A and B are shown apart, each in its own frame.
Chain A
Amino acid sequence: MTEVGLVFFPAFDWAISPDHPERQERLLYTRDQIQEEGLFDHPAIREYRPRLASDEEILRTHVVLPSLETVTESHRIAAGGTIAAADLVLDGLAKRSFALLRPPGHHANRFVHGSRGFCTLNNEAIMVDHLRSRLGPDVKIAIVDTDAHHGDGTQDIFYNDPGVLHISLHQDGRTLYPGTGFITERGGPGAYGQTVNIPLPPGTGDEGMLLAMERVVLPILRDWQPDWIINAAGQDNHFSDPITNMGFSAQGYARLTEMLRPDIVVLEGGYSIESALPYINVGLLLALAGLDYSKVQEPHGRREPQPRAITDQVARICGEVAELWERRSEEDLGKVFGEAEFFERRRQIYYDTDNIYESQQEYIRLCRACPGWRAVYTQSTRVRQVAAAVLLPWKPCPSCRQEAEGQYRQLAAEGRFQQVVWQDPARGRESLKE
C-alpha cells in the first residue's frame, strides 16, 4: 500500500473563460514543480487516473436544475476524480489520498442553478455521500475546509446532517466572498452545533491558522471522533494570493496537514498559480506522505510576520468557537427553531460566476426521531418556473419517510410545478417506485 494516492487532474483543456482564474494554466506550474521535485516518481506517492462521476453519484447529493445537461464534463471528472481518490483509501490501495484537481466545488450548494464561486458540483460532498453509500449511513465524516473563502456550499449540503461535522476556517465574511461563515451559523435542527465556523481576520498568517488548529479544530475532532477526516484544501489563504488578504505560507500549510492527518485531501481554490500553488502542493504532498518538508519554501517573496493584534483576535474567536462547541448539546432547540411542525427558511442566493439569482424556501420537519424530511421550493433567473424537491436524510425515521412520500406524491399530482424532485440518498432516486 502506498502512503499517498494522488489523483492529479489539471484539466489542461478547460477554462471557465480564457482570462478567468479557473483556466488551463492554473495547475501547470504545480505540475512542473511536482514533476521536477520527482514526487510523481516517489515510492511513497502513486498517481492514479480520475473518472467521470455518474448521474446517480451526482444526484445523490445535488438537485441540478433544470437538468444534468448543464453540468460539463470537466465538473463530472473533478467530482469523479474525488470519488476515485476516496476509493483508493477505501480499497486499501493508499493510506491517504489527494484529489489535486480542478474545477473546485465547495461553493456549490445542494441546489444547483449554475456556477457560483467558480463551482458547479460540490466534489467533496459528492465524495462524502459516495463514502456513505459504500460504508453505510452510520460512518462519521468530518470536513475541515481551510480555503480562504467560507465553504458555504458544503455547509449548505450538510447543515442538517448529523453524520457530518463541517468546520470551516476562512477570512471573515465581512471582508470577502461569499460573505457568510459567521460563528452564529451552527447548523439545522437535525445537526445543531455540527456546523462550525472560524472566521479569521484579514492578515491572519501561519501563527493564527495553526493556533486555530491547536485550540479549536483538533480538540473538536478529538471530541467528535470522526471515522474519516476530509480536508477541503483551498490554497488561497497564501500571502501571495491575488484575491484574498491572508498571510499563510507553504510551510504553514504543510504543518497544518501534518497536524490534521486527513484521510482525503481535496483541492479547492487558490489562484496564486505561480508563487503559491507549486510550493503549497509540494509541501502538502510531502506532509501527507510523512516525508521531510522542512526545506519547502517560496523562492519569491516573504510573508510578513502576523501582527500581535491579529494573534489576539484569533485567540478570542477560538475561545468563542470552543465555548459554542462545548455548549451545543445544552441549547434549547425549541428556542432556535421554534416549536411548530416545520422550521421554515427563506433565502436569496447569488451565483456570481453565472450571474444568477435564486430564491429558495425550505421547510424542515422538526422530528425527535430523525433529522427530519425537507421540502424545498426554488426558482431562479435561469430556472424561472418554481421547482419543488422532497429530501430525505440518510437515516429517516419510518414516519418521516411516509410523510415525505405522501408529500412527494401530492406535489407531483398537483401539477403546479415544472419539476418535482425526490432525493433519497440511502435508497436512491428510484426508491419511490418500489
Chain B
Amino acid sequence: MAGIDVGGTNTDAVLLRGAEVEALVKVPTDPKDLLGSTALALEKVLEHYKEDQPLKLHLSTTLSTNLIVEGRGAPTQVVAVPGPGVNLKSLNFSFPIIELDGYIDHRGREAAPLNLDQVRGLKQVLGGTEGEALAIVGKFSQRNPGHEQRLRDEISQWYNGIITLGHRLSGRANFPRRIVTAYLNSRIARHQLDFLRVWREVQGSAVGEILILKADGGTMTLDACAERPIESILSGPAASIMGVKALTQCTEANYLIVDIGGTTTDLAAVVGGEVLFERDGATISGYRTLVPAILARSFGLGGDSRIRYEKSSGVIIGPERAGTPVCLGGEHLTPTDAAAALGLAQVGSAEAARQGWQAWGESLGIDGDALAKEVFQAFLRQLREAVEAFYAELENMPLYTIREVLDPPDLRPRAVVGLGAPAPVFVPALAESMNLSWEVVPYWAGANAIGAAAARATAGITLQADTQLGKVTVPEMGWRGEIQRPLFFDLGKARELAEEKTREHAGSLGYDASGEVYIVEEESFQMVRGFRTVGQTHLVRTQLRPEVFKVRGEAK
C-alpha cells in the first residue's frame, strides 16, 4: 500500500506494510512536470516494495487545483435554468452563461416548463466537439433534477464534449455555487482524465488499483474521478489531516490540528471526534464551490517565511516566503534559523544561523540571540492570533434553533496536534501558551503521504422527502422516486432509506459499502396548510464512515 501527496514544494511518498511504515521519501515537486515528480517519488517507494502482487496506490495530486488556479482546461460553456430570482448577470461570473426558460421551485415542483424550441436552438450556440465541455445547471435541481436530465438527453444527441449536470455534484442548496462547481468540473475533466490515463500507462504492471484523494479526506476510484474530477481539488490539506487521524494518540473529542509547513500553516478543527467540514463547500482561487471539503484555513506563516523588523512594531513574519534558511545554505534568515540558532531544532548549521542573527542584530543594535528569541516569540504570537481568529470564525456560524442558542455547540480545543517539519519547535510552545496538552504526530514531516495512504473511500448523499407531494430525491444519484405510503413515511423511515441509498451509491461507485453510515445533518418539519397538517418534509444528509486506518509510530 503506497500513498503519494504531490504538494506545491515537495512530493511525499510512503510505503505501508499493514500498519507499519516501510519507507518514507521526499522529492522536490517540479510544477511543470507533475507526471515526472510523481513518477520519481513512486520509483523511490517501489525500491522498497518486495511483494509479488501489484502495489495499491492512493494519490493526492495538485493537478486539478493547478488547472483551476492557472485558468487552464477545456473551453467550457454553461447552460442555466435560473427562473425568477437573483439576476445571474449581476453576479459577475468569469464565464458566459446561456439562460433558458423554466423553473423548479423550492419544493421541487415544476413552476414553469422548459421551452423546447429554445433547447433545440442551442445547437446553433454551443459547439459540441470532443474537446469542448458543458455544464447544465438549474435552480433547485437538487430538489428535482428533471430539467437538467431532460436537457442532457436533448443536448447529448448531438453534443460530443463532456457534460456535467449540477445536481450530481452536491445535494446542498446554492445555485451560484452549483453553477461554478459544474463549470469547473467540466472544464478540468478532460485534462484530469488524460493525466490519469497517461500516468496509469507509464506505471505499467507494478501498480495495481489507484485511488484518488478528495478534498473531504476520502478516496475515489478513477471512474468516479472521471465523472467528478472537481472533488480532487485541495486534497493536500486533506491528506495532512487524514495523516493526523491515522497517527494521533489524542483521545480528546475536540482538538486543533496545526500543520506548519515551509511557506504556510494550515489549521483544522476536530469537534466531537470528527473533522469539521466547510458549510457549503471548498473555495479555490476565488471560486466558491459546493465541493465537500475539510474546513482548513491557511495563512502565510511557516519555517521559511520572510522576516521584517520595524522599530515601532518589532518582528513581523510572513506572509511571503523568504526561501531556503541560512542554516541550510540560503540567503535570508527565517524562523527555522531562529530555531536552529536557539538550539530548538537540529537543522543544518546552527553556527551559520547564529552568525546570521549576530550580523543582523548588530545592524539593528540588538543582541543576535535576543533577536532570534524575538523571532521565535513573534512566530508564536502570530500563530496564536490565527488560531483565535479561526475559532472566532467557527463560533460565528449561524444557529437556527433555540436549543443551540441557549447551549451553543462547544468547539474549543482541549489539545493541539501538530505536524509539518517545524511542528516540534512551535507546537509545544503554542499549546502551553493556550494551556492545552499537545502532541506532535510520528513522521510529522511526512504525515501527509501517510494520510493519503491511510484514507478510505467516502460517499455521502442528501435525501429530501416531501410526503405531501409523495416525492423523495437523492440528487447525488440523480434519483427522484415516489413515496409509497406517504402517511407513514416519518423521519425514521427517511433515515432508513437514506442509509440504504448511501450503501447503494457507494456500491455503484465501486466502494466497500460495509462501513457505518452516519447522519451528518437532519431536519424534519410538519407542513401545515390552513390549520391542518398536510404532510412532512424530511432532509437527511448521510456519510459512509470508514474505519480510521491507524498507522504505528512513536509520538513526540
Contacts and interface: CB of A to CB of B under 8 A. Distances in A.
B420 to A, nearest CB: 31
A230 B346 CA distance: 64
A29 B106 contact: yes
A242 B173 CA distance: 28
Contacts of B91: 38
Nearest to A27: B400
A408 B130 CA distance: 87
Interface in B58-90: 82-87, 89-90
A271 to B, nearest CB: 11
Given A9-B400, A24-B526, A41-B177, A282 B85 contact: yes
Contacts of A12: 400-401, 523, 525
A249 to B, nearest CB: 12
A36 B90 contact: no
A35 B173 contact: yes
A296 B173 contact: no
B402 A11 contact: yes
Nearest to B403: A13
B396 A299 contact: no
B103 A299 contact: yes
A49 B400 CA distance: 9
A41 B533 contact: no
A12 B521 CA distance: 14
Given A35-B174, A41-B288, A286 B405 contact: no
Contact of A38 (B83, B87, B174): B174
A25 interface: yes
B531 interface: yes
Interface in A49-95: 49-52, 73-74, 77
Contacts of A292: 86-87, 89-90
A300 interface: yes
A47 B398 contact: yes
A23 interface: yes
A133 interface: no
A279 B139 CA distance: 14
Nearest to B401: A13
Contacts of A52: 405-406
Interface string B523-536: 10111101111000
A295 interface: yes
Contacts of B176: 37-38, 41
Contacts of A286: 86
A77 B405 contact: yes
Counting contact residues on chain A (CB < 8 A from B), the size range is: 35 or more
B175 interface: yes
Given A36-B175, A300-B105, A18 B526 contact: yes
Nearest to A72: B402
A242 B401 contact: no
B180 to A, nearest CB: 10
Contacts of A298: 84
Nearest to A37: B86
A48 B400 CA distance: 11
A74 B405 CA distance: 10
A296 B398 contact: no
Contacts of B403: 13
B111 interface: yes
Interface string B264-287: 000000000000000010000000
A297 B86 CA distance: 10
Contacts of B525: 12, 24-25, 28
A11 B404 CA distance: 10
A193 B164 CA distance: 62
B389 interface: no
A48 B280 CA distance: 16
Nearest to B405: A77
Contacts of A242: 530
A360 interface: no
B148 to A, nearest CB: 14
Interface in B176-190: 176-177
Given A36-B139, A37-B175, A49-B396, A74 B86 contact: no
B438 interface: no
Interface in A250-304: 274, 278-279, 282, 286, 291-300
Nearest to A51: B405
A10 interface: yes
A40 B177 CA distance: 12
Given A12-B400, A12-B523, A297 B84 contact: yes
A25 B175 contact: no
A358 B86 CA distance: 47
A41 B174 contact: yes
Contacts of B86: 37-39, 282, 286, 291-292, 295-296
A274 B105 CA distance: 10
Contact of A14 (B82, B288, B402, B533): B402
A39 B396 CA distance: 17
Contacts of A23: 526, 528
A279 B532 CA distance: 24
Given A50-B405, A73-B402, A299-B103, A32 B173 contact: yes
Nearest to A73: B402
Interface string B86-120: 11011100000000000101110001100000000
A74 B403 CA distance: 10
B376 interface: no
B409 to A, nearest CB: 12
A33 B139 CA distance: 10
B175 A38 contact: yes
Given A36-B139, A36-B140, A278-B106, A73 B406 contact: yes
B399 interface: yes
B291 to A, nearest CB: 14
Nearest to A25: B525
A300 B537 CA distance: 20
A146 to B, nearest CB: 22
A36 B280 CA distance: 11
Contacts of B288: 41
A286 B87 CA distance: 10
A299 B87 contact: no
B87 A295 contact: yes
B522 to A, nearest CB: 12
B85 A19 contact: no
A230 B525 CA distance: 32
A35 B86 CA distance: 12
A298 B85 CA distance: 9
Given A278-B106, A292-B87, A8 B398 contact: yes
Nearest to B172: A35
B112 A299 contact: yes
B174 A19 contact: no
Contacts of A279: 84-85
A25 B398 contact: no
A156 B404 CA distance: 33
Nearest to A298: B84
A50 B408 CA distance: 12
Nearest to B528: A19
Residue of B85, B174, B396 ringed by the most chain A CB atoms within 10 A? B85
Nearest to A77: B405
**Considering residues B105, B396, B523, B532, which has the most beta carbons from chain A within 10 angstroms of its beta carbon?**
B105
Contacts of B401: 11-14
B121 to A, nearest CB: 21
Q: From B86, B280, B396, name the one whose CB has the most chain A CB atoms within 10 angstroms.
A: B86
A294 B402 CA distance: 35
B84 A77 contact: no
Residue among A31, A242, A295 with the most chain B CB within 10 A? A295
A33 B87 contact: no
7 contacts: A19-B532, A28-B537, A35-B173, A74-B402, A291-B90, A299-B103, A300-B105
Top 5 closest pairs, chain A to chain B, by CB: A38-B176, A299-B111, A297-B84, A292-B90, A35-B173
Given A36-B140, A293-B87, 14 more contacts: A11-B402, A13-B403, A18-B526, A18-B528, A33-B106, A36-B174, A37-B86, A41-B280, A49-B405, A52-B405, A77-B402, A292-B90, A294-B87, A297-B84
